[in-house]
């Protein structure tokens, strides 16, 4: 079982250099006895447990009188004066004959700040009851609104891309685009179609489609998909104006017929012999 930790100190602050009304009154009325009594009392409170001294016990009262080397009557007068000056708690002295100096305890706060034991409190002090919080007026219960049924969201049709072509030109472009072998970057192809001047009609559209078919046959670029120009590039380059020979080609290395069509040449003008004539 551990030893109880006492609330005592080995020293207390003794402030100097300032005029003390208490010291002046005590010295004026009781001389050095008044001065000595006051500081001996503070020392006694410092080494008393809880910094409180009980004079209701006759032995304690006799010890204080002997320590201060004054008469009991003088001790009572000095204590009454200290209570009137507020240096010791007047209520505790008058009621319980307890000596409690709140100023002394306040000056010891730094000492107890370094200890695990709490600083003593004034005896017979009940902690103030917490003030109850004012009751809040009852609030009206808000009726919960019925949750609206979530309607299924209608899935709209996918938005069509807006074309740069008018309705008629869009129809003609569709014919061209269906015939063209490489279908990539349609938007650029529509823009290229819109740039054709004059604006294509049915007859011109048929000629453009025929040019596509001829390119498939005679333009080497159309033989492999990776080399086939995009429809926009072909239209911008006016590929529909290219001319192709029936078995010839254009500047892109079109198909060539390598078979010779000319007559056989005379090998050196050699004439076969008619044979030997017999001698006569």
Label each residue of the chain as H, E or C: CCCCCCCCCCCCCCCCCCCCHHHHHHHHHHCHHHHHHHHHHHHHHHHCHHHEEECCCHHHHHHHHHHHCCCHHHHHHHHHHHHHHCCCCHHHHHHHCEEECHHHHHCCHHHHHCCCCCCCCCCCCCCCCCCCCCCCCCCCCCCCCCCCCCCCCCCCCCCCCCCCCCHHHHHHHHHHHHHCCCCCCHHHHHHHHHCCCCCCCHHHHHHHHHHHHHHHHHCHHHHCHHHCCCHHHHHHCCHHHCCCCCCCCCCCCCCCCCCCCCCCCCCCCCCCCCCCCCCC
- The answer as to whether 225 is a domain residue is yes
Domain boundary among 113, 130, 158: 113
pTM over 0.95: no
Identify any residues that bridge with 54 across adjacent strands, giving them in sequence order.
98
> Is residue 225 within 8 Å of 182, Cβ to Cβ?
yes
For the stretch 204-244, pLDDT in tens is 999 999 999 999 999 999 988 889 999 999 999 999 998 87
- The answer as to whether 254 is a domain residue is no
Q: Per-residue confidence at 141, pLDDT binned at 50, 70, 90?
A: low
Judged against a pLDDT cut of 60, whether residue 261 lies above it is answered with no
- The answer as to whether 269 is a domain residue is no
pLDDT at 153: 64
Q: Name the residue range of residue 70's domain.
A: 21-113
pLDDT cut 90: percent of the chain above it: 48
Alpha-carbon distance 201 to 175, whole Å?
12
First CA to last CA distance, the chain? 171
Q: Which residue has the tokens 């409180």?
A: 52
Average pLDDT of every residue of the chain: 80
For the stretch 23-80, pLDDT in tens is 889 889 999 998 899 999 999 998 999 999 999 999 999 999 999 999 999 999 999 9
Q: Which residue has the tokens 């007068």?
A: 77
Domain count, the chain: 2
- The answer as to whether 135 is a domain residue is no
- Give the number of other CB atoms < 10 A from CB of residue 182: 16
- The answer as to whether 262 is a domain residue is no
Instruction: Look at 80-94, 160-174, 193-207 and tell me which has the smallest mean pLDDT.
Output: 160-174
Instruction: Look at 12-21, 85-94, 190-199, 208-217 and tell me which has the smallest mean pLDDT.
Output: 12-21
> Is residue 99 within 8 Å of 45, Cβ to Cβ?
yes
Report for 15-24, 131-140, 262-271: range of highest mean pLDDT: 15-24
- The answer as to whether 45 is a domain residue is yes
Radius of gyration of the chain measured on its C-alpha atoms: 62
Q: 36 vs 272, which has greater pLDDT? A: 36
pLDDT at 3: 63
> Is residue 218 within 8 Å of 256, Cβ to Cβ?
no
Same domain, 178 and 108: no
- The answer as to whether 4 is a domain residue is no
Q: Per-residue confidence at 82, pLDDT binned at 50, 70, 90?
A: very high
Q: 250 vs 141, which has greater pLDDT? A: 141
pLDDT cut 70: percent of the chain above it: 71
Judged against a pLDDT cut of 50, whether residue 267 lies above it is answered with no
- The answer as to whether 6 is a domain residue is no
Judged against a pLDDT cut of 90, whether residue 19 lies above it is answered with no
């Amino acid at each position: 079982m551990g030893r109880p930790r006492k609330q005592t100190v080995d020293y207390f602050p003794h402030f100097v250099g300032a005029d003390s009304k208490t010291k002046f009154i005590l010295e004026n009325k009781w001389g050095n006895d008044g001065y000595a009594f006051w500081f001996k009392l503070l020392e006694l409170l410092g080494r008393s447990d809880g910094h409180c001294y009980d004079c209701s016990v006759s032995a304690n009262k006799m010890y204080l009188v002997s320590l201060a080397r004054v008469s009991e009557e003088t001790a009572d007068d000095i204590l009454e004066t200290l209570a009137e000056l507020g240096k010791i708690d007047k209520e505790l002295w008058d009621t319980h004959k307890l000596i409690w100096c709140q100023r002394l305890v306040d000056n010891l706060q730094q000492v107890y700040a370094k200890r695990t034991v709490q600083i003593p409190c004034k005896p017979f002090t009940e902690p103030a009851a917490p003030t109850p919080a004012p009751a809040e007026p009852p609030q009206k219960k808000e009726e919960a609104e019925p949750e609206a049924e979530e309607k299924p969201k209608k899935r709209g049709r996918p938005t069509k891309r807006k074309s740069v072509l008018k309705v008629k030109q869009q129809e003609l472009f569709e014919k061209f685009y269906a015939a063209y072998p490489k279908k990539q970057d349609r938007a650029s192809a529509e823009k290229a179609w819109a740039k054709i001047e004059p604006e294509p009609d049915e007859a011109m559209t048929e000629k453009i489609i025929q040019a596509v078919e001829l390119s498939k046959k005679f333009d080497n670029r159309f033989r492999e998909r990776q080399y086939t120009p995009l429809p926009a590039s072909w239209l911008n380059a006016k590929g529909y104006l290219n001319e192709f020979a029936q078995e010839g080609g254009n500047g892109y290395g079109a198909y060539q017929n390598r078979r010779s069509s000319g007559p056989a040449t005379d090998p050196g003008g050699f004439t076969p012999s008619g044979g030997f004539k017999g001698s006569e």
